Amino acid sequence: MRSVHAIAADQVFDGDNVHRHTAVLIEEDSIVALVPVSEVPAAVTLSTLPAGAWLAPGFIDVQVNGGGDVLFNDTPTPSGLARIVAAHRRFGTTGLLATLISDSHQKMRTALDAVHGAGPSAGVLGIHFEGPFLSRERPGVHDPAMIRTPSAEDLALLMSSHTTTLVTLAPEVVPPGFIAQLTACGIRVALGHSMATYDQTRFALSQGLTGFTHLFNAMRPLESREPGPIAAALEAEDAFFGMIVDGAHVHPAMLRLALRGKAKPLLVTDAMPPVGGSQETFTLFGQAIKREGSSCIRADGRLAGSALDMACAVHNCVAMLDVPLTCALRYASTQVANFLGLGDRFGRLKPGYRADMVAFHAPAMRVIATWVAGRTSAGAAD
Ligand SMILES: [Zn+2]
C-alpha cells in the first residue's frame, strides 16, 4: 500500500451511483478501490475534500477548438495544446479532443503530429477533425475555401492516426465507402455541417457513423416531409449527439425534446480561445470574433463556437434542461468515454479506471480541484 493515497468526499459519483462519505483509493495513475471513509487503511494518506463537496469522473470534452487565448488551428503544437488543456482543466475537464476546424491537409498533419506528441497523460485524449469534408450549404464559420472532398492523401493521413480520432463530416459529400473505411480502422465518425436527408443519414449510420456534432446547429432542420439528420439521430439508440447548452446555440426546449429521443447526449463546449483566457476578442480565418458572455460572435452576428466551459455546461444542463445532476455528469464524462470507445478506462470512478477526477461544489458547479492520471492540480475556477 506504499504508493496508495486516497481522496474522500461527502458525495462520490462513480458514473452510475452516488456513494456517501467515501474515499477513492489511487495507486499511481489508477483507481484501486472505493471504500467508506471509516475503512481507509491507516497507512494510506487521506485527503478530505471540504464539507458538501462532490467527487466525480473528470469531464471529457470532444469539441475544444481553443482555450487560454490559444486557437488550436493557429497553434497546433504541443505547447499550444498544453495551454488549452490547462485553461479547460480549471473548469473540470480532464480529457479533451483537440479540435481542428476545417483547414489545409498540411495543417491537419501538423495538428495530428502535435496530438501524437502530447500523449494521453497530458489530458489530450485525441483529435477531432471538424471538417473539412463538409456541406458548402452549411459552413457555419468554417472557411469555405477549406471545404473540400477527401483526397487519397487525406484518407491516408486519417488512417495513420494512432490516437483517438473523431471526424465530423457531411455524409452526402464524401465518396461511397468513405465512412466505412474510417470506422473500420477505429475512427469515430460524426455527422455535422450537413444537408443530408433522412435516408442519407440512415445509410451513414449503417456504415458506422455513430455521432452527431452540435445537433440542430449547421444541419438540415427538422421538416415535416424531410425529417433530415435530426430525426434520424434521435431514432438511433446506438448514436451519440453533442449538445452546446449555452442558451444561445439551441433553444432549451429543442434540447429537452432531443433528450426524449433514443440517442445518447454528450455535453460539449465548442470552446474558443476566451475560455480560461484573458482576451475578449480573437481572430478566426482573418475575421474578428468577440466574446459576449458565454457566446463568441462574428461581426455578422453568426455564432463562432462558444466561450462555454464544461462546469458551466453541466450547470446549464441541470438548470435549463431539468436534468438531474448525476445525469448531467454522465453526459459530461461517462457517456463521452463510451462514445470514444474508452469506456473501459475513462469516465468512471471504479477499480482499474484512470484516476481522472473532478471535485466541485454543487449546484454552482464551482470546481475545487482536478486529477489527471492521479495527479492533482488544485486550480479552482472562480
Ligand atoms: Zn461546427
Q: Helix, strand, or coil here: 254? A: helix
| Distance from residue 117's CA to the centre of ligand 1 (Å) | 25
pLDDT at 255: 98
Residue 148: pLDDT above 90?
yes
CATH 2.30.40.10 residue spans of the chain: 4-56+349-378
- The number of residues making up the chain comes to 382
pLDDT at 379: 46
Residue 141: pLDDT above 70?
yes
pLDDT band at 2 (very low <50, low <70, confident <90, very high): low
pLDDT at 3: 86
Question: What is the C-alpha to C-alpha distance for residues 331 and 326, in angstroms, rounded to an integer?
Answer: 9
CA 320 from centre of chain: 19
Question: Which amino acid makes up residue 46?
Answer: L
pLDDT at 247: 92
- Class assignment of domain 58-339? alpha beta
| Distance from residue 371's CA to the centre of ligand 1 (Å) | 29
User: Would you give the DSSP letter of residue 58?
Assistant: P
| Distance from residue 131's CA to the centre of ligand 1 (Å) | 8
User: Selecting from 2.30.40.10, 1.10.10.10, 2.40.50.140, 3.40.50.720, what CATH number does the domain 4-56+349-378 have?
Assistant: 2.30.40.10
Catalytic residue among 14, 270, 309, 356: 270
Q: Helix, strand, or coil here: 31? A: strand
Summarised one tens digit per residue, pLDDT across range 175-214 is: 999 999 999 999 999 999 999 999 999 999 999 999 999 9
Cell of 225: 416531409
Contact 120, 135 (CB under 8 A): no
| Distance from residue 214's CA to the centre of ligand 1 (Å) | 7
Q: Taking CA 135 as the corner, what is the angle to CA 65 and CA 163, rounded to the nearest 5 degrees?
A: 40
CATH 3.20.20.140 residue spans of the chain: 58-339
| Distance from residue 140's CA to the centre of ligand 1 (Å) | 7
Question: What is the C-alpha to C-alpha distance for residues 299 and 39, in angstroms, rounded to an integer?
Answer: 59
Helices (H), 36-184: 78-89, 105-118, 152-159, 178-184
Question: What is the C-alpha to C-alpha distance for residues 260 and 262, in angstroms, rounded to an integer?
Answer: 7
Contact 343, 15 (CB under 8 A): no
Summarised one tens digit per residue, pLDDT across range 235-284 is: 999 999 999 999 999 999 999 999 999 999 999 999 999 999 999 999 99
The candidate with the shortest Cα–Cα distance to 270, out of 60, 59, 58, 62, is 62
User: Would you give the DSSP letter of residue 202?
Assistant: H
Q: Helix, strand, or coil here: 110? A: helix
Over range 14-36, report the average pLDDT: 98
DSSP string, 70-94: EETTT--SHHHHHHHHHHHHTTTEE
pLDDT at 122: 79
Q: What is the mean pLDDT of the chain?
A: 96
Q: Helix, strand, or coil here: 47? A: strand
The candidate with the shortest Cα–Cα distance to 63, out of 150, 192, 156, is 192
pLDDT at 120: 66
pLDDT at 378: 58
Summarised one tens digit per residue, pLDDT across range 46-75 is: 999 999 999 999 999 999 999 999 999 999
Question: What is the C-alpha to C-alpha distance for residues 156 and 58, in angstroms, rounded to an integer?
Answer: 33
Residue 246 falls in the annotated catalytic set: no
End-to-end CA distance of the chain: 36
pLDDT band at 341 (very low <50, low <70, confident <90, very high): very high
Question: What is the C-alpha to C-alpha distance for residues 224 and 219, in angstroms, rounded to an integer?
Answer: 15
Percentage above 70 pLDDT, the chain: 98
| Distance from residue 102's CA to the centre of ligand 1 (Å) | 9
Helices (H), the chain: 78-89, 105-118, 152-159, 178-184, 198-206, 228-235, 252-258, 310-321, 325-329, 335-340
pLDDT at 382: 36
Summarised one tens digit per residue, pLDDT across range 73-96 is: 999 999 999 999 999 999 999 999
| Distance from residue 311's CA to the centre of ligand 1 (Å) | 21
Cell 443519414 sits on residue = 201
| Distance from residue 218's CA to the centre of ligand 1 (Å) | 7
Q: Is the dihedral of CA 343, 122, 120, 95 positive or negative?
A: positive
pLDDT at 92: 98
Summarised one tens digit per residue, pLDDT across range 284-312 is: 999 999 999 999 999 999 999 999 999 99
Residue 381: pLDDT above 70?
no
Cell of 61: 470534452
